[in-house]
Structure 1
Amino acid sequence: MNIKLATIEDSQQIFEIAEAAFSPSPWPKSLFEHELTSPRSHYFIADGGFVGVTQILDEVEVGSIAVHPNSQRQGLAFQLLTRVFTLSHAQRFLLEVDESNEAAIHLYEKLGFSAYYRREKYYKNGHAAIMMERKV
């Protein structure tokens, strides 16, 4: 599987993956375009999926991850996140996940993340956000 660092030219593909995965995308295309030009943001893309992160010093926050429905359950999210773990100087990885997304929570725990906080009624659907971290 070829995972590459995304560029601004990949913004349309990233948006299309997010649209297919979430129907509609929770992120506008303009957000991807902005982040793809930011020195603190990194996007990794593969056929059928992407992950976007922001790195400040030794802390990396996963802001977005999506896998096209046709590519789900094939280990792509696992591989994308594993690639994120190779960012230099990173000592702590953070993310948030909807409490009802059991598959994602299971994946994150498999990758060494653990819950450290719960934000009640965080999402528009009324669900809580589970804040998770992975320390190196």
Structure 2
Amino acid sequence: MDALTALERAAFGADAWSRAQVADEVSGTSRHVVVAAEDDVVTGYASMIATGDTADVARIAVVPQQRRTGVGRHLLGALLGESERCGVERVLLEVASDNHAAIGLYEAGGFVAIATRPHYYRSGADAVVMERHVAPRRDG
């Protein structure tokens, strides 16, 4: 848990979740959590909750020195794969409007902006709400 809490601080600064929030996220019911590691060192993690026909990406965090190396893309891909397995119709997420790299990652993953939440983050940044529709599962 301490590795994820340290990762939170490195990735999000003032907007980092507390140790208790991280613990709640990774142990929560209906959660899907993916951890990326290199040489037994945690380099990123992602979490999503899927209920009914909607999944919500709660967090994708990558240590700053591993950004733009594919870690975030891998984590997002794992969450999207799980959303397909869960049979949801759409995936939602919120991202800080000044986090251009993350917005680019999400757009490359098929997300589109659908709304803005003014001054959503502690830093004062707006949240961009993004959505991706999931292709229906074809069993058989």
Give TM-score scaled by structure 2 length: 0.83
Deviations 1:57-115 (A, max 9, x none): 23111111110112111011011000011112122111111111111111110000000
- For 1:97 and 1:24, the matched residues in 2 are separated by 15
Task: Give the corresponding residue for 1:123.
Answer: 121
Matched, 1:68 2:59: no
How do 1:1-136 and structure 2 match up within 5 A? 11-24=1-14, 26-47=16-37, 48-87=43-82, 88=85, 89-136=87-134
Give the helix-richer structure, 1 or 2: 2
Unaligned runs of 5+ in 1: 1-10
State the Cα distance separating 1:21 from its structure 2 match. 1.6
State the Cα distance separating 1:42 from its structure 2 match. 1.6
Question: Any idea what SS the aligned residue of 2:74 has?
Answer: helix
CA contact (8 A) 2:115 2:129 kept: yes
User: Once the two structures are aligned, what percentage of the paired residues are identical?
Assistant: 33
Question: Any idea what SS the aligned residue of 1:106 has?
Answer: helix
Unaligned runs of 5+ in 2: 38-42, 135-140
AA matched with 1:107: L
AA matched with 1:74: T
User: How many pairs does the alignment contain?
Assistant: 126
